[in-house]
Structure 1
Amino acid sequence: MPQDPTQRDLTAAELQGARNRLTLSPELVRRVAVLGGYDAHDAFSDKLTDVVDVTDLIELLVTAQLGETEPGRTAARQVESERARRILERIATGQTLTRQSVHDNLPSETVVLFRMGPPRLWGYAVRQRTPRNAGNALPARVPADPTGTWASPEEAWLGWHITDASDLDELATVVPGVLHDNDLNRRLRLGMSLSDGPDQVWSSARGHWSIKPETTYIVPSRYGWCPYVFRIPDGGWRGDEFEGHRTRYMAERGYWIDVDNGRLVEMGEPDPDNSWLPRMSVSDEAPTETDMAVAGLLTDRVLRLGAAGKNPVIRLRQRGRRLF
């Protein structure tokens, strides 16, 4: 089978992933829900705001095992597996934080968590990984994608359901017909993997979001795990208009707060020679006391975010206002 997916047909494994009709027995779902803390709540009257989402737990359990058993596993897959096991251990032993406990211990600054989805290729990167007959897998009605006019519904669907989003260094960053001086085209992937470093997380998580441009700290999270905290300086957000949506914001500038080394790392311009990941450099500016307080509380911590909802943006704290 050719290595270039555009030169081959869709596999049955890829179609299984796209159609995703898998179901679990009620017994297994109940056991997973107990692990997530659901058994401490009344079935009908309690708000499930401090549990771990059942689907998140199932994906963590599968990820932890797959990284050890699947053939041809890569170093990145092994890192995913190890981190999934570590997250599960913390959940099982109660080494987690609730949203209210985080709120009560954060300084009075606007801190927003992004509930990141799985890795997915975006835009012109999708075309470089799409099997030649993948269009046969498209549903009769393809829903519109939140990226609006920047990706067709079909292309966005294939990026989400079909194409593999690993090994980005194999993809071209500069291709004919794509305006690469436009910041919206200067990344290859959305979503978040447990194996991602701060550069890839920043590239995927910096936008677009329906937030207030006064947001100072962003916390990308996968399954409630928060590996990195970023500070957005004044004027660091850019607003873009999307048809049928209110203005959404993308961070053009930011700093990773490196708690372990007590420093700020500037997330610079996207680099076309490095999968459009940011050029990173240690800032001459030292982190503030507030920077260290926010990042020290959240970096590498697991939060119980509650049962998943439609809004991926969760305010952990807001300047001048209590949320709990």
Structure 2
Amino acid sequence: MPDKNPPQNGQHKLTAAQLYGSRNRLTLSPDLLRRVAELLGYGGVEAFPGGQLAPMLEVLDISDVVELIVLSQLSGYEVDPTPEQRAEAATARSLLRRISSGRYLTRKQIHDLLPPETVVLFKMGHPRLWGYAVRQRLPDDAELAIPNTIEKDPTGPYTDQREAWLGRYITDAGNLHQLRAESEEVPVSEDRYQRFRLGMSLVDSYAQVWSSARGHWSVSPDTRYVVPSRYGWCPYVFKIAEEGWRRDEFEGHRDRLMGTRGYWIDVANERLIHLGEPDPENMWLPKTSIAPEGPSDRDLRVAGAITGEIIALGAGQKNPVIRLRQRGRRLY
């Protein structure tokens, strides 16, 4: 049964489900992977054209589609899935129907639809807690799960790589309204994150996606439009406001940018929704308002080309930051 009320820190021990989720050693048989690859059109691509491995830049990633298949079915077997889990399963099924019938676009096709502005896609991972939100949900023996070697996430003040790992692999990232938005350990004036969560689910609102996706990223400060994507699906397009990027330092890593102000381009209603400062009274989601100015023709062209589309990002794409278009030059 899904945990609808995740216990707070120190109220429970690490479970076997949490431990095995963190180890993630699941493998699929070769025949199943081949069937998924055939579904995605890999069967029509020569593996070694001219003796060189095919780059596979215009296909969907097999791992993403396998996750979608599981996500589309899992809630049907759970005893009491949440409404959000049911809704996410329905969205996954809808995306799979589109994928199986070839209704998705390549990066080049998207590129050719876009005006000459810098448009960057952020490849989002699963929802995960961050910073002091992690501490509120940790089992009291959670550190027993941490392996000897972990990812070297750039973290910054008031959190560290071990806590980032626990947020990614151990803690539940649902029911954010249950979390405290302020911590005695982190002064609000020094909290450069001001959010509970990273990553993206298929049922996130535009406000939650902005909160999770606005940084920190290694991007150019002239990036005007950002497109958070999950499994290649792009439900929202955001426009960064003038002087809407903030540059932050990370010890041992290059500087990264955080979006502080922006707009959701509501292309269906031809309006801009202003995304302001994070609100601690509302799960650190941005304060929103309808902008008095409407979207420009260029805004509508960018958002119209991408909103709701599925983009084939390539097989095994590791870079989470993907340029879809660049101002001043063509990429294809």
Runs of 4+ in 1 over 3 A off after TM superposition: none
Aligned-pair identity (%): 56
Question: Are residue 98 (structure 1) and residue 102 (structure 2) matched?
Answer: no
Aligned partners of 1:248 and 1:184: how far apart in 2?
12
Is the aligned partner of 1:11 residue 2:11? no
Indicate the residue corresponding to 1:186 in structure 2: 194
Rounded to whole Å, the distance in 2 between the matches of 1:50 and 1:142 is 32
Residues 124-156 of structure 1: per-residue CA shift (max 9 Å, x gap): 000011111111111123332232445212111
Structure 2: distance between partners of 1:135 and 1:3: 18
Deviation larger for 209-218 or 4-13: 4-13
Q: 2:92 aligns with which of 58, 62, 84?
A: 84
Counterpart of 1:134 in structure 2 is 142
Question: 2:161 and 2:8 mapped to 1: Cα distance?
Answer: 21
Q: Name 2:294's counterpart in structure 1.
A: 286
The count of residues paired between Structure 1 and Structure 2 equals 324
CA deviations over 1:56-77 (Å, ceiling 9, x no partner): 0111000000132222211111
Normalised to the residue count of structure 1, the TM-score between the two structures is: 0.97
- Give CA-to-partner distance per residue, 1:40-93, whole Å, 9 cap, x none: 211123211011101101110000001322222111111110111111111111
Q: Look up the equivalent residue of 1:137 and give its one-letter code.
A: A
Give the Cα separation in 2 of the matches to 1:132 and 1:42.
52
Could you tell me which amino acid in structure 2 is paired with residue 225 of structure 1? W
Matched residues in 2 for 1:274 and 1:211: separation? 28
Alignment of 1:128-167 (within 5 A): 128-167=136-175
Determine which of 248, 253, 274 is the counterpart of 2:282: 274
What's 2:228 paired with? Answer: 220
Distance 1:70 1:142 in 2: 31
Tell me, in whole angstroms, the C-alpha distance in 1 between the residues paired with 2:318 and 2:6: 37
Structure 1 letter corresponding to 2:109: S
Give 1:301's aligned residue: 309
Q: Equivalent residue for 1:253?
A: 261
- What do the CA deviations read for 1:151-193 (whole angstroms, capped 9, x no partner)? 2121111101100001100100012121212352410000101
1:10–1:134 contact (8 Å) kept in structure 2: yes
Q: Which of 65, 68, 83 lines up with 1:60 in the alignment?
A: 68
Q: CA deviation at 1:320?
A: 1.2
State the distance in 2 between where 1:274 and 1:35 align.
42
Question: Are the structure 2 counterparts of residues 238 and 3 from structure 1 closer, same or farther at C-alpha, using a change threshold of 3 Å?
Answer: closer
Equivalent residue number for residue 35 of structure 1: 39
Counterpart code for 2:265: I
Write the letter of the residue equivalent to 1:27.
Answer: D
Q: More deviation in 117-126 or 172-181? A: 172-181
CA contact 1:178–1:185 (8 Å) conserved in 2: no
Q: Specify whether residues 181 and 310 from structure 1 end up closer, same or farther in structure 2 by C-alpha distance, changes over 3 A only.
A: same
Question: Match for 1:139: what amino acid?
Answer: P
Q: CA deviation at 1:222?
A: 0.2
Distance 1:292 1:36 in 2: 30
The residue number in structure 2 matching 1:23 is 27
**Any conservation in 2 of the 1:149–1:243 contact (CA below 8 Å)?**
no
- DSSP 3-state at the match of 1:62: helix
Structure 1: gaps spanning 5 or more residues: none
Greater Cα shift, 205-214 or 142-151: 142-151
Compared CA separation, residues 151 and 37, structure 1 to 2 (3 A): farther
Answer with 150-159 or 190-199: which moved more: 150-159
SS at match of 1:281: strand
SS in 2 for 1:241: strand
What root-mean-square deviation, in Å, do the aligned CA atoms of Structure 1 and Structure 2 show? 1.4
| 1:290-323 alpha-carbon deviations (Å, 9 max, x no partner) | 0000001100110111013331000000011000
Q: Which amino acid aligns with 2:221?
A: P
Change over 3 Å in CA distance of 1:56–1:13 after alignment to 2: same
* Distance across 1 between alignment mates of 2:69 and 2:155: 30
TM-score by length of 2: 0.94
Query: Residue 211 of structure 2 aligns to which amino acid in structure 1?
Result: S
The change in CA–CA distance for 1:80 and 1:322 in structure 2 (over 3 A counts) is: same
Instruction: Say if 2:6 and 2:137, in contact at 8 Å, map to a contact too.
Output: no
Worse overlay, 293-302 or 148-157:
148-157
